[in-house]
Structure 1
């Protein structure tokens, strides 16, 4: 991330050609967009995870919440973009990975029988969702997997927009978090599952929904992050790290030219310019 502060690199610009959204009270980008525009009320209800039908049956049985949310939002975003899934390079970003699987492994290790199933073991790695994605999409394109705790969404966005600018090809960004059961929940109190997928492209197309721009030297700021007027949405933004994206989605849904400040590192926020 020091690259953006120290290098006279080009402006990073990306066009949003597809969005996938899933979270508490959010079943899709189409529905969420209407809520962000004020056309429909937001009702905070438990997130419902879709079955990962794109996976073969054996892998589908092994898929946990992280895989379900990551694949669900990815499929929605890619369908909106009109691109071939297998052609997209990708960036996956999560603050915690598979929280439920972590809980089950810790429970097994704390028991008298410390054997861990192979399924639990291979789902424990942070790039599990990316691996399942490559299976479901038959993709052999490169994939980056990031973790920056509460800054994970902003870190993933920086990575994806840098790839769009340097490679001049569309990039899939997937950000997601799931909730820990107790007793880990008391230490890491993420209340529910949230996922966002974006297909970011280097050029405007008929499917583009917004233009996002990062200016080197101006994108990292000490300004406070933008807050949401809706109390329930604001609580979700602060409670779930991946939901730090909500001010950006709110501005994109309303088709306004604006500056959006997102939570990033402590004392250092990420600023984007948004245009319809």
Structure 2
């Protein structure tokens, strides 16, 4: 399958260009925003939307723009390890102390497909969307789902992966200390926008060992958020030499990938 567009957001690395700069040895951007502000949302929606939605829509918009694709035309797969943990914590605390004061907006944003719903409304898309979670294997499961959809009946698919920081009370069971999001527009056919080709093989096996990066910034990012398990793939897509990438898609399921560039 072909990669036609890439979206990327992390603290100090708010896009693919910043990731490529990091791989060249550039420092993180000190003037980068502390959280995403996707242009497709109106100001009122940006204030109402939780960080998880802002993050997902930002990387999705980046990927569609890079692929020169109309978001309304793309079926999508949204994958998130834990959902919006800040809202989960807030709702549990409110239900335990003052259940009648539960915010309808918080409840509205608590469902696992909230980001997918915001995306559909903001982009005007009526194409099918899938929202899934597979714990620490969520990115691999999302990529596997997107690849299966390409094989089934879709010419192109948008994959969006995102996770936010966890509140302290949930750190023991859902440790995440930073925002991280990434997105890909994947296609069955090479186009003028294709930047890479991924040859993917699904195998049985134990989860791969942790990746090691030469950049301390990337190493810190890799351990700060469970969705950053996809970082080896995005580092390869950003142009760093790789002999192959292995990601976990389940407790005993692996995705083995070879990535090659598509010369312009």
Task: Give the TM-score normalised by the residue count of structure 1.
Answer: 0.86
**Counterparts in 2 of 1:61 and 1:122: CA distance versus 1, 3 Å:** same
Residue by residue over 1:30-70, the C-alpha shift from the partner in whole angstroms, topping out at 9 and shown as x without a partner, is: 1112323x252457999722224423454333200011000
- Match runs of 1:174-253 below 5 Å: 174-216=160-202, 219-222=203-206, 224-225=208-209, 227-229=211-213, 230-253=215-238
**How many residues are matched?**
260
Residue by residue over 1:7-43, the C-alpha shift from the partner in whole angstroms, topping out at 9 and shown as x without a partner, is: xxxxxxx11111110012211011112323x252457
- Residue in structure 2 matching 1:79, options 65, 68, 75: 65
- Match runs of 1:260-271 below 5 Å: 260-266=245-251, 268-271=253-256
- Residue in structure 2 matching 1:60, options 46, 52, 59: 46
For 1:150, what is the secondary structure of its paired residue?
A: coil
Report the equivalent of 1:90. Answer: 76
Report the equivalent of 2:110. Answer: 124
**5+ residue gaps in structure 2?**
none
Which range moved further: 142-151 or 236-245? 236-245
Give yes or no for contact 2:163–2:180 (8 Å, CA) kept in 1: yes
Residue by residue over 1:108-154, the C-alpha shift from the partner in whole angstroms, topping out at 9 and shown as x without a partner, is: 11224542111011101000000000011000000000000110000
- Residue in structure 2 matching 1:27, options 10, 14, 25: 14
Report the equivalent of 2:158. Answer: 172
Give yes or no for contact 1:88–1:172 (8 Å, CA) kept in 2: yes
Cα distance in 1 for residues equivalent to 2:142 and 2:231:
15
**5+ residue gaps in structure 1?**
1-13
Q: Give RMSD over aligned pairs.
A: 2.3
Cα distance in 2 for residues equivalent to 1:98 and 1:57:
21
Task: Give the TM-score normalised by the residue count of structure 2.
Answer: 0.89
Cα distance in 1 for residues equivalent to 2:125 and 2:148:
21
**Counterparts in 2 of 1:152 and 1:46: CA distance versus 1, 3 Å:** farther
Cα distance in 2 for residues equivalent to 1:186 and 1:120:
23
- Residue in structure 1 matching 2:37, options 51, 63, 66: 51
Give yes or no for contact 1:177–1:240 (8 Å, CA) kept in 2: yes
**Counterparts in 2 of 1:214 and 1:125: CA distance versus 1, 3 Å:** same
Report the equivalent of 1:259. Answer: 244
Cα distance in 1 for residues equivalent to 2:147 and 2:34:
29
How far the C-alpha of 1:267 sits from its partner, in A, is: 5.1
How far the C-alpha of 1:237 sits from its partner, in A, is: 1.9
How far the C-alpha of 1:243 sits from its partner, in A, is: 0.7
Which range moved further: 71-80 or 158-167? 158-167
